[in-house]
Chain A
Amino acid sequence: MTVVARFEIHGVRYLDAAGHPCAELPPLGRDREHLVALYRAMVQARSFDAKAVVLQRTGRIGTYASALGQEAIGVCIADVLRAEDVLLPSYRETAAMLGRGVHMDELLLYWGGDERGMDFAGPREDFPICVPIATQLTHAAGVAAAFQYRGEARVALAVCGDGATSQGDFYAALNLAGAWRLPLVVVVNNNQWAISVPRSAQSGTETLAQKALAAGITGVQCDGNDVLALHETLAAAVARAREGGGATLVEALSYRLGDHTTADDASRYRDPDEVEARRQEEPVVRLRRYLHAQGWWDAGVEEALKADCAATVDAAVARYEATPPPAPTAMFDHLYARLPAALAAQRAAAAAGGGHG
């Protein structure tokens, strides 16, 4: 018997949980301005997230999926993409969407049950939040195929969770990307849980990154709480895709510090000690410690930033709450480009405020 193929999966980490370098740092580690900007974006995303949970608790929006503890992933995704690239998010990409330019009040509209929030002012080619698990990955392959077909140096980037990697669509999309060498990046936010199902029960593989191997694309794992590791890994994947080097699967190791959504109570199935232990590794504190150690940050700036973020969020909430709800007929407006005559009666019934009969 001979070895016919050999594979390795690489992992990337630069900062340990305490924010101390644990490997020789990449140039970003010395880029004060850039790191501070990434830090600010994480704090802003977290403050939006916390507010959204409060709004749900007080009945002012519907179910919300918090990204607490996973902000670094979205912030770095938004940072490495170009405006002309296309993001295909799942429901936990608040940080990435904000970074791409979606407005907070648009996100609140969506989570408040008004799909107009997904008709965001920009970026116009980014996809709306995708809830059917992993289905956005095949769409991303199609977007990437369109870029490739037209010879455009653009990249499609889709994000999914660890649970999503068990789906047929996950593998089917990766396989298509491998067969066609598509300019695609798939980021798995491995937050260790798919609602109540832990990562260990999701797949027998040692890593999720290695699922790339079966599709013939690059697979890499990185510490999803370490901005330096994430940024480098994602930037390399996006560059490879843009230059015709094919698709990459990035597994970003993180932890879902909050409930699955506001409709969930994770204490029913999750050991609080585990959560506390993982809280020590979260990305915002980690980067703040690093910034402190460099002398680039102090308590005063932190306070000012927090106040600033809160004011931004409050202004967005005010805009959201001042938005009049759509008319009942609106549910027919985005069904077809032109509503078929056969549905006119149903629309008229909605306009009259009655049922359908």
Chain B
Amino acid sequence: MSTVTTTYREAIREAIREALRRDPRVFLMGEDVGAYGGCFAVSKGLLDEFGPERIRDTPLSESAFVGAGIGAALGGMRPIVEIMTVNFSLLALDQILNNAATLLHMSGGQFNVPLVIRMTTGGGRQLAAQHSHSLEGWYAHIPGLRVLAPATLEDARGMLWSALEDPDPVLIFEHALLYNQAGTLPADAGAVDIRRARVRRPGRDVSLITYGGSLPKTLEAAGRLAAEGIDAEVIDLRSLRPLDDATILASVAATRRAVIVDEGWRSGSLAAEISARIMENAFYELDAPVARVCSAEVPMPYARHLEQAALPQADTVIRVARGLVRGDG
């Protein structure tokens, strides 16, 4: 099977390109997605290939272009809306929650909202306290949405197509630190299943449950734990709403220990939700309390050493996992 060398960024671009080629209803819109190529260079080159009708720079208003995306979706199109970062998506929160997620209900079933919204999330690039947060857990709280977090090249390439095929609104969170991740993909890589979590590394001693930008760190932690004789299993959630309870619970039932690695703020986090589900459904299987590694509950600092101190790190995951397995945390 032939393969291509690519990056996470290029894989998403290729997915957008493929969607534009396959379906005339698809178009991309957002701030600076045209000549500039998007603030993370995802759409670079697409304007030349597809023209300004399909690669649309919008006026600078998140609420306007997310709202217009809803209208266009109901008007028979398949818009892909790009929001620069999750922090700025808050300007469109009303459109996402009160409108996109609610219209099927409010229309008594008349209107699905086949809208895909992509946005960057996460810290680690010294972009400071208004560009770096991980708020995908908030969106995962909202019934009516599907929330995806591609963490691998395969998912970066495949999730968009699956999202476009979904009749309901789908939010795709792209972690800023993943864009440069390089690797190979099958030349014919395409749509992926977006319903299930994946075991990225099997193990017997502890389940490390994570998603998105924390996956590489967690895999690194698992590798180093192996050197100490601790065999960690790594679960990549992939879909944050709905959560794939079955995969999580099966893993925890086998390892009897769980650490959730989530870049969101700890209080009221997605990690808290997963922890609660484990308590509700696997309490008697556990040999140790569920543990969480989350971001410090502060606005993301700009200074590099402070930002690194605020974010979940492999070292912390290792320390916490070791504590659960050896009881000496």
CA distance A116 to B269 in the complex (A): 35
Report chain A residues within 8 Å CB of B79: 142
CA distance A172 to B58 in the complex (A): 11
Write the A90-107 contact mask toward B (1 if CB under 8 angstroms, else 0).
000000000000000000
A135 touches B168 (CB 8 A): no
Name the segment of B14-22, B103-111, B129-137 touching the other chain: B103-111
B95 touches A143 (CB 8 A): no
The interface residues of chain A, by DSSP majority, are classed as helix
Residue in B75, B108, B245 whose CB lies within 8 Å of A86: B75
Q: Is B122's CB within 8 Å of the partner chain A?
A: no
Write the B153-179 contact mask toward A (1 if CB under 8 angstroms, else 0).
000000000000011100000000000
B168 touches A337 (CB 8 A): yes
B68 touches A145 (CB 8 A): yes
Q: Which residue of B lies closest to A141 (CB)?
A: B68
A138 touches B64 (CB 8 A): yes
Given contacts A168-B63, A337-B167, contact A119 B71 (CB under 8 A): no
CA distance A66 to B134 in the complex (A): 44
Write the A110-152 contact mask toward B (1 if CB under 8 angstroms, else 0).
1000111111100011011100100101111111111101100
Residue in B58, B72, B242 whose CB lies within 8 Å of A146: B72
Q: Is A173's CB within 8 Å of the partner chain B?
A: yes
CA distance A114 to B108 in the complex (A): 8
Name the segment of A186-194, A289-297, A339-347 touching the other chain: A339-347
Q: Is B287's CB within 8 Å of the partner chain A?
A: no
B111 touches A128 (CB 8 A): yes
CA distance A234 to B268 in the complex (A): 50
Q: Is A175's CB within 8 Å of the partner chain B?
A: yes
Chain A, 282-334, CB within 8 A of any chain B CB: 331, 333-334
Q: Which residue of A lies closest to B68 (CB)?
A: A142
Q: Is B265's CB within 8 Å of the partner chain A?
A: no
A176 touches B68 (CB 8 A): yes
Write the B44-77 contact mask toward A (1 if CB under 8 angstroms, else 0).
0000000001000011010111111111111111
Q: What is the size category of the interface that chain B forms with chain A? A: 35 or more
Given contacts A135-B99, A143-B74, contact A335 B68 (CB under 8 A): no
Q: Which residue of B lies closest to A142 (CB)?
A: B71
CA distance A346 to B199 in the complex (A): 27
A135 touches B67 (CB 8 A): yes
Q: Which residue of B lies closest to A343 (CB)?
A: B242
Determine how close the nearest CB of chain B comes to the CB of A46; give it in whole angstroms: 26
Residue in A115, A138, A331, A340 whose CB lies within 8 Å of B68: A138
Chain B, 86-128, CB within 8 A of any chain A CB: 94-95, 98-99, 103-112
Report chain B residues within 8 Å CB of A140: 71
Residue in A116, A168, A176, A335 whose CB lies within 8 Å of B143: A335
B95 touches A142 (CB 8 A): no
Chain B, 213-264, CB within 8 A of any chain A CB: 242-246
CA distance A140 to B68 in the complex (A): 7
Residue in A119, A144, A342 whose CB lies within 8 Å of B109: A119
Residue in B70, B107, B242 whose CB lies within 8 Å of A119: B107
Q: Is B144's CB within 8 Å of the partner chain A?
A: yes
Q: Is B211's CB within 8 Å of the partner chain A?
A: no
Determine how close the nearest CB of chain B comes to the CB of A214; give it in whole angstroms: 12
Given contacts A118-B110, A124-B110, contact A334 B104 (CB under 8 A): yes
Q: Is B27's CB within 8 Å of the partner chain A?
A: yes
A341 touches B63 (CB 8 A): no
CA distance A167 to B307 in the complex (A): 36
Report chain B residues within 8 Å CB of A116: 108-109
CA distance A26 to B193 in the complex (A): 62
A342 touches B243 (CB 8 A): yes
Q: Is A349's CB within 8 Å of the partner chain B?
A: no
Binding site for A on B (CB under 8 A): 27, 53, 58-59, 61, 63-77, 79, 94-95, 98-99, 103-112, 143-144, 146, 166-168, 195, 242-246
Counting from the closest, the 5 A-B pairs by CB-CB distance are A142-B71, A138-B67, A146-B75, A119-B108, A142-B68
What are some 22 contacts across the A-B interface (CB < 8 A)? A115-B105, A116-B109, A119-B110, A135-B67, A135-B95, A138-B64, A139-B71, A141-B67, A142-B75, A143-B72, A145-B71, A145-B77, A168-B61, A176-B59, A176-B61, A334-B105, A334-B107, A335-B144, A336-B146, A337-B166, A341-B195, A342-B242
Using A138-B63, A146-B77, A176-B59 as known contacts, list a sample of 9 further A-B pairs with CB atoms less than 8 Å apart, ordered by residue number in A.
A117-B108, A124-B110, A127-B107, A138-B68, A139-B74, A142-B74, A149-B53, A172-B59, A176-B58
